[in-house]
């Protein structure tokens, strides 16, 4: 046995929601080898023992929708209306990103994820090669997709379309990297930023190649109703007509789904990713999570990017999800703590196609684990650990993050990320390039 | 000069919202003696220099509505409907609290407040003497009120009514303690838990004695409409008829105020205290903060008690307030970061009657200050410090809390609170008494 956690409150998130109040979890070869309320037989002979008294050990969280490199834009444009935000502040700056900027910004985002107990992310952006490099070096798990857009008048050929070429190249280099730690997926940015030629081509590619897909779906009322006007179909319906959901897919936001959309997506086994903080911040609305669950959909959680949040703290999303559901349904019993925690763990694993390997503490699964310090005032007393995790805890309470048995964050340090080098590169290269291009031009 | 903070990003929250990016703040005799972008003249000759490079220095936050001793009930009863929650889980346990339980639980709550950067609280509960002792010992500022209730059939005489006697006794012992650090106020729990005899008597007492008042107001739709049915008046109107708002008052929640209520309360200079997390958790609704502000009301922030939150993190409330306002008004520009931060600082000071002494970093004001560590991944890069404070930061980012120049929290430690003794007393005395009374009886 490589590592043994002792005396932890173990929140397994397994099918019976077992909780061990003075429990032991043993790890061998990056996998969970033992879970129990007693020490393992013959002590397990671990090479390392982590005394977790006063701590909660739980599965690492899974952030199912983000745009990691947007850390570089964190707080640069808040409290604007959506059009001004996008067209004047976000797009012009994103256009100036290159691979080096993206890698540094992604590493900063990954550090934040690890510090806050996230062990796997689903990512949609461009420069996916740079993001994959960052994920590969850091040790985090990631399902990385290349967001594709296409407008009427674009000539379209999958083989030559830049975004699709980038997708194909990234798949070749990175898909399955490190025994599946990294996966490359396809993405259609959204219905309203693309046309049927793209949908047909991407869905055909995914079906032929066995590739999963990510898409933004019905995020705003305007998007949803404009689609109805244009096609007489909802975004979910029109994409489904073009076989987009014939492969495992993840739909972010799902704020304005109709009831029949939910039934359709449930039938197609599309996972929704609820991003409550981003939805509120951009005044997009509040997705109806209980209704989606009732319709049979798997609903996971995501932070979206840091330009509309502005952090990557999935514990924050857990609480927002639970509280907003109670308000939306005028029912304090709606989306209770256990369900909210499931969204961030088992449901996230299912959305990523990783349900066999993570999301629970169970023998045979990957040791993707986090420890939280429950000796802090706001986590005492602990009458109900699931309540405390959902309603009191925050990402900042995480003191250790481990992926496949490897510690990627502990005691304020990141063994796999040189954070000061990343910050320096952002400050000296990336931010001037993105925010002060006129000075860059003057220099050259 | 006693203390000099150097090289901080100083967020003054003053009338011009001055921010110094490499600033200096000097303290003498518990007051702010210097604020500037250069070191003080002749170096100030401070006895202690705190190098705050990479940190943000701002005014301590003011939590304008809480029930500190409810920390003992944290997480014991979540995700229930309101009636079950109150009648089966909260009230029976509260009935078993004594002064010793309340003091320990209040000290735990105060520790949490200090750890999260709160330097002053407005409190409503009973056993106010015990709470005052806790506040006195800890060094925090507090406006403490005795929540009074009265039901038809109660005989009423102010001099002998237990809650009012407790109020009078607490005022005599604690009001103005330590040069006004503690203040004792009156409180009417709510319109629906009392009758006009109480309102008349308490308002008369407050007017005669110059005492401020706290009240829960229009928290739920049921409360608001039941009052209209009973009296033909809203809760605000009926209390106003009985002169309750003839003294400076603070009204918590204000979720269901009518437009004319807002005008009335603005005219009476009643401060509202917005408690967004609690309101969502109990499915009470979302108060219309922009409308209250437009009507001329001062609106502060509060956490309510930890049984309906479940933490005392006012940074969390800041973000919820901003985001919920955007959603409620379908407007991403609503309640922007500066306004949300003002609610937790200057507006809170105004609500407490402390606007001359705290809420801003300004020479002459009390040195009620907090430091946040901005070298953490989620706070980098910092394009806009007010955005970062509102949308990225959390209570856990506070690394130092100071009240009147005295450090009450730093580096994980509480110089004025023996936290392990408090936790021990809660575990060995208070929790058995409150949660296992049958075992207590068996023993005796």
Preceding omega of B310 cis (within 30 degrees of 0): yes
Contacts of B289 in chain A (CB under 8 A): none
Distance CA B437, CA B433 (A): 5
Least confident of A390-404, B41-55, B107-121, B148-162: B148-162
> Which candidate from A282, A381, A396 shows the least CB-CB separation from B396?
A396
CB B299 within 8 A of CB B321: no
The nearest alpha carbon in chain A to B396 belongs to: A396
Q: How far apart are the first and last CA of chain A?
A: 57
> Which of residues 59 through 78 in chain B touch A, CB cutoff 8 A?
71-76, 78
Cβ of A381 and B329 within 8 Å? Answer: no
Question: Tokens 């959309």 map to which residue?
Answer: A261
The distance of A323 to chain B (nearest Cα, Å) reads 5
Cα A113 to its chain centre, rounded Å, is 9
Q: Is the dihedral of CA A74, A359, B316, A379 positive or negative?
A: negative
- Residues B121-143 have pLDDT tens digits of 999 999 999 999 999 999 999 99
Residues in chain A: 444
B78, B395, B431 member nearest A391 (Cβ): B78
Region for A69 from its dihedrals, namely left if φ exceeds 0, alpha if ψ lies in -120 to 50, beta otherwise: alpha
The pLDDT assigned to A214 comes to: 98
Which residue is associated with the tokens 């008829």? B241
Bridge-based pairing state of the strands A19-28 and A31-36: antiparallel
Show residues of chain A in contact with B336, CB under 8 Å: 78-79
Beta bridge partners of residue A336, listed in sequence order = none
> Is B370 in a helix, a strand, or coil?
strand
- Per-residue pLDDT of B70-80, as tens digits, reads 999 999 989 88
Q: How far apart are CA A183 and CA B246, in angstroms?
A: 66
Q: Which residue has the tokens 């005219």?
A: B267
Chain B residue numbers with beta carbons less than 8 Å from the beta carbon of A323 are: 277, 280-281
Region A401-409: mean pLDDT is: 98
The Cα–Cα gap between B253 and A365 comes to: 46
SS (H, E, C) chain A: CCEEEEEEEEECCCCCCCEEEEEEEEEECCEEEEEECCCCHHHHCCCEEEECCCEEEEECEEEEEECHHHHHHCCCCCCCCHHHHHHHHHHHHHCCCCHHHHHHHHHHHHHHHHHCCEEEEEEEECCHHHHHHHHHHHCCEEEEEEEECCCCCCCCCCCCCHHHHHHHHHHHHHCCHHHHCEEEEEEEEEHHHCCHHHHHHHHHHHHHHCCCEEEEECCCHHHHHHHHHHHCCCHHHHHHHCCHHHCCEEEEECCCCCHHHHHHHHHCCCEEEECHHHHHHCCCCCCCHHHHHHCCCCEEECCCCHHHCCCCCHHHHHHHHHHHHHHHCCCCCCCCHHHHHHHHCHHHHHHHCCCCCCCCCCCCCECCEEEEECCCHHHCCCCCHHHHHHHCCCHHHEEEEEECCEEEEECCECCCCCHHHHHHHHHHHHHHHHHCHHHHHHHC
Cβ distance A377 to B330 less than 8 Å, yes or no, reads no
Tell which of A9, A332, A341, A430 to mutate to test the B interface (max B CBs under 10 Å): A332
CA atoms within 13 A on the CB side of A106: 31
CA distance A90 to A395: 26
On chain A, the residues whose CB falls within 8 A of the CB of B19 are none
Closest Cα in chain A, distance from residue B384 (Å): 6
Mean pLDDT to the nearest integer, B140-167 = 88
Q: Which residue has the tokens 């050929």?
A: A157
Please check whether residue B116 touches A, CB under 8 A: yes
- Predicted confidence at residue A257, as pLDDT, reads 98
pLDDT class of A136 with cuts at 50, 70, 90? very high
| Residues of B in Cβ contact (< 8 Å) with A97 | none
Give the CA angle between residues A417, A423, A426 to the nearest 5°. Answer: 120
Is the Cα dihedral B412, B427, A374, A335 positive or negative? Answer: negative
Asked if B427's CB is within 8 angstroms of A377's CB, the reply is no
Q: Does A327 contact B at CB distance below 8 Å?
A: yes
Q: Is A437 on the interface with B (CB under 8 A)?
A: no
Query: Chain A 193-222, CB below 8 Å of chain B: which residues?
Result: none
ipTM of this predicted complex?
Answer: 0.96
What is the three-class DSSP state of B382? coil
Contact A336 B78 (CB under 8 A): yes
**Confidence at B145, pLDDT banded by 50, 70, 90:** very high
Contact B290, B332 (CB under 8 A): no
pTM above 0.95, yes or no: yes
Give the H or E element holding residue B100. Answer: helix B99-115
pLDDT band at A43, cuts 50/70/90? low
Q: How many A×B Cβ pairs under 8 Å?
A: 190
Structure tokens at A223: 């998007």
* pLDDT tens column, B246-299: 999 999 999 999 999 999 999 999 999 999 999 999 999 999 999 999 999 999
pLDDT digits (tens, 9 = 90+) for A263-322: 999 999 999 999 999 999 999 999 999 999 999 999 999 999 999 999 999 999 999 999
Q: Which residues contact A71 (CB under 8 A, 6 or more apart)?
A: A105, A106, A108, A109, A112, A306, A312, B377, B380, B381
- B281 CB neighbours in chain A (<8 A) are 323, 326, 332, 391
**Nearest-neighbour CA in chain A from B75: distance (Å):** 6
Asked if residue B85 has pLDDT above 90, the reply is: no
For position B246, what pLDDT does the model report?
A: 97
Q: Which residues contact A91 (CB under 8 A, 6 or more apart)?
A: none
Give CA separation, A96 vs A5, A49, A92, B27, in Å: 46, 47, 7, 45
């Amino acid at each position: 046995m490589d590592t043994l956690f002792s005396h932890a409150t173990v929140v397994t998130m397994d099918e019976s929601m077992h909780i061990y109040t003075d429990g032991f979890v043993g790890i061998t070869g990056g996998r969970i080898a033992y879970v129990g309320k007693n020490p393992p037989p013959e002590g397990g002979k671990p090479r390392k023992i982590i005394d977790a008294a006063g701590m909660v050990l739980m599965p690492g969280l899974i952030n199912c929708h983000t745009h990691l490199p947007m850390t570089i834009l964190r707080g640069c444009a808040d409290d604007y209306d959506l059009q001004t935000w996008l067209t004047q502040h976000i797009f012009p700056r994103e256009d100036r990103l290159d691979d080096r900027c993206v890698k540094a910004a992604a590493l900063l985002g990954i550090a934040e994820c690890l510090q806050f107990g996230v062990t796997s992310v689903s990512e949609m952006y461009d420069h996916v090669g740079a993001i994959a490099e960052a994920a590969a070096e850091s040790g985090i798990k990631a399902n990385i997709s290349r967001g594709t857009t296409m407008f009427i008048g674009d000539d379209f050929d999958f083989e030559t379309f830049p975004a699709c070429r980038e997708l194909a190249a990234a798949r070749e280099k990175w898909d399955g990297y490190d025994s599946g730690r990294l996966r490359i997926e396809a993405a259609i940015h959204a219905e309203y930023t693309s046309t049927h030629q793209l949908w047909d081509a991407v869905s055909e590619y995914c079906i032929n190649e066995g590739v999963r897909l990510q898409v933004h779906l019905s995020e705003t009322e305007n998007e949803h109703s404009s689609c109805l006007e244009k096609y007489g179909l909802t975004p979910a319906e029109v994409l489904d007509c073009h076989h987009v959901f014939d492969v495992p897919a993840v739909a972010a936001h799902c704020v304005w789904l109709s009831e029949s959309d939910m039934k359709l997506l449930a039938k197609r086994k599309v996972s929704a990713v609820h991003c409550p903080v981003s939805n509120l911040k951009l005044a997009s609305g509040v997705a109806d999570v209980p209704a989606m669950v009732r319709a049979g959909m798997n609903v996971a959680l995501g932070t979206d990017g840091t330009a509309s949040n502005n952090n990557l703290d999935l514990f924050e999303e857990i609480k927002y999800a639970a509280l907003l559901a109670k308000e939306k349904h005028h029912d304090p019993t709606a989306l209770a703590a256990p369900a909210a925690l499931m969204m961030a763990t088992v449901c996230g694993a299912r959305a990523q196609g990783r349900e066999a390997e993570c999301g629970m503490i169970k023998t045979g699964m990957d040791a993707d684990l986090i420890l939280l310090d429950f000796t802090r005032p706001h986590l005492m007393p602990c009458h109900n650990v699931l309540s405390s995790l959902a309603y009191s805890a925050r990402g900042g309470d995480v003191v250790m993050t481990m992926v496949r048995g490897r510690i990627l964050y502990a005691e304020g340090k990141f063994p796999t990320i040189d954070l000061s080098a990343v910050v320096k590169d952002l400050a000296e290269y990336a931010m001037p390039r993105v925010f002060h291009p006129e000075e860059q031009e003057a220099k050259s």
